[in-house]
Amino acid sequence: MSHHIVEVKDLAYTYPGGTRALRGVSFRIVHGESVGIVGANGAGKSTLLRHLNGTVEPAQGSVRVGDFPITRKTLHQVRRTVGMVFQDPDDQLFMPTVYEDVAFGPLNLGLPTAEIENRVMQSLDTVGAAHLRDRPPYRLSGGEKRAVAIATVLSMTPDILVLDEPTSNLDPKARRQLIELLRSFRHTKIIASHDLDMILDLCERTIVIHEGRITADGPTARIFNDQNLLAESHLEKPLRMQACPICGPR
């Protein structure tokens, strides 16, 4: 199943303004893995994610998804394989109704009408949003928007899911439901977030990025126990791994 592999080699990127967002990043993610990408604000997480489906072209280095490197010719195939869920659902839900939004991707793939109907309802069912199908996206709650944003990506049946801060702006219950939803997916998952407790829940492997470089890459439990590493990367232990200040140290 080599087509589920994501391989990044010596990736560097500088924004037109001169900000060096990535300074040589390399890793390899294999089929079925769930990987958390953590780091301070401005560490380069979002820039890295944008390279994974070719919305940004690398200035140096290469990104391979499955059997081929991302180039203009393979872009179409890559975007079918990699489903990208953006941080702000308002950016992702641009069609007038939920149904049309979820159908947007499959329509671009040129699928027949019956298959589109099928995929849309299946994706909405998966995220528990079938009842929202005729609603306009701007009328949804934060949690509903997020669920629908994920459905818009699922309807393209990607093998790899890339999520940018999926739990931001969610209330605790919506956050918990989202975590359970993501846990139920068999896809290869790449999740960038500051919500380290969520990463701990979902990802067995974590990559730490600091100032455009990878400072650690390994099992999540080990990395989140490394106090020095976390401090250097402007991070903290997940709350769950800290002693409780109210009921006393464990």
Q: Closest separation between CB of residue 86 and other proteins, Å?
A: 5
42: left (phi over 0), alpha (psi -120 to 50) or beta: left
- Between 80 and 205, whose beta carbon lies closer to other proteins? 80
C-beta separation of 237 from 224 below 8 A: yes
Pick the closer one to other proteins by CB: 110 or 249. 110
Please say which residue, 123 or 233, places its beta carbon nearer to other proteins: 123
Nearer to other proteins, 90 or 125 (CB): 90
Q: How far is the CB of 183 from other proteins (least distance, A)?
A: 23
Determine the Cα–Cα distance for residues 43 and 208; give it in Å rounded to an integer: 9
Distance separating alpha carbons of residues 13 and 23, to the nearest angstrom: 7
Specify burial of residue 248 (Cβ count, 10 A radius: 0-12, 13-18, 19+): exposed
User: Residue 193 Cβ, how far from other proteins at the closest point, in Å?
Assistant: 18
- Kindly write down the DSSP assignment for every residue of 1-42, as one continuous string: -GGG-EEEEEEEEE-TTS-EEEEEEEEEE-TT-EEEEEE-TT
Interface residues toward other proteins, by CB under 8 A = 50, 53, 55, 76, 79-80, 82-84, 86, 88, 90-92, 94-97, 99-100, 103-105, 107-109, 113, 116, 134, 136-139, 152-153, 156
- Which C-beta is closer to other proteins: that of 101 or that of 195? 101
CB of 158 to other proteins, least distance (A): 10
